[in-house]
Amino acid sequence: MRYWLCLLLLLPLLSHASPQTIDWLDLLPEEDLEAILNMPEIVHNEADYAEDDDASGTFEQSLRQRDPTMPEVMYSTRVVEKMDGIEARLAGFPVPLETNERGHYTSFFLVPYAGACIHVPPPPPNQIVLVDYPKGLPIEDIYTPFWVTGSLHVDQTSNELADASYRIEASSVRVYDGD
C-alpha cells in the first residue's frame, strides 16, 4: 500500500520531464532542410536596402519585402508539428522587442546567429522564435547568446521586424555558457 501511495505522490514529478535540448535545424521540416543545405551563397547588396529620400518605404518594410532573387526557403513558414508543446531548451541570440517598467525585455526574438534581423535578409520565419518572458531580461548586448528554456509552440507571429513560426513561453533565460 505504501508503495502505491509513494508512486501516486511522485507521479506529478515524473510527468515534468527535463527540457529537450534542440538545435535550430530541428525546427526545419525535411524539405526546408534540404533546400537550405543545397542553397547557393546569398550576396547582400546594401544599395537595395539603403535608406534615402528616393527609397520607397522604410528600412523595416524593406526587411520584410520579398527579394525575387532569394530562394523561397528564405521565406518559409513551414514547421515541424511534433515540436508543438514540448519543453525545450534552445540557444540563440536575442533581438529585443518589448520591455517592462524596469527596462527588462519581456518579449524578444531568438535567432540562430548574431546580428540576424539587423542585417538583410533575416532568417526564415521557421528559424525565428518569439520568446515571451514575463520575468524580464536585461539585454545589454545582442551579440551575447542565451539559453532559453520553456514550452515551445508552433505559432505564426508577425511584427514590423520579422515573422516567426515558433514561440517559447520561457521559464528561464540564462547566458549561454556552452553547456
| Predicted local confidence at residue 54, as pLDDT | 43
Reading the chain (179 residues) residue by residue, the pLDDT tens digits are 554 444 444 444 444 569 999 999 999 999 999 999 998 876 656 555 444 444 444 434 444 567 788 899 999 999 999 999 999 999 999 999 999 999 999 999 999 999 876 656 789 999 999 999 999 999 999 999 999 999 999 999 998 889 999 999 999 999 998 87
| Predicted local confidence at residue 91, as pLDDT | 98
| Predicted local confidence at residue 120, as pLDDT | 63
| Predicted local confidence at residue 153, as pLDDT | 98
| Predicted local confidence at residue 123, as pLDDT | 92
| Predicted local confidence at residue 1, as pLDDT | 56
Please state whether 160 falls in left (phi above 0), alpha (psi between -120 and 50) or beta: alpha
| Predicted local confidence at residue 33, as pLDDT | 96
Please state whether 98 falls in left (phi above 0), alpha (psi between -120 and 50) or beta: beta
Show the CA angle centred on residue 148, arms to residues 144 and 153, nearest 5°: 135
3-class secondary structure, 171: strand
C-alpha cell at 166: 515558433
C-alpha cell at 94: 536575442
Q: What single letter denotes the amino acid at residue 115?
A: G
| Predicted local confidence at residue 41, as pLDDT | 78
C-alpha cell at 81: 508539428
Q: What is the pLDDT of residues 135-151, one digit of tens each?
A: 999 999 999 999 999 99
Domain boundaries, the chain: 16-41+54-175
| Predicted local confidence at residue 27, as pLDDT | 98
Q: Residue 99: count other Cβ atoms within 10 Å of its Cβ.
A: 16
| Predicted local confidence at residue 17, as pLDDT | 67
Residue among 96, 111, 174 at smallest CA distance from 141: 96
- The two beta strands, 129-137 and 163-175, are parallel
Q: What is the pTM of this model?
A: 0.79
CATH class of the domain at 16-41+54-175: mainly beta
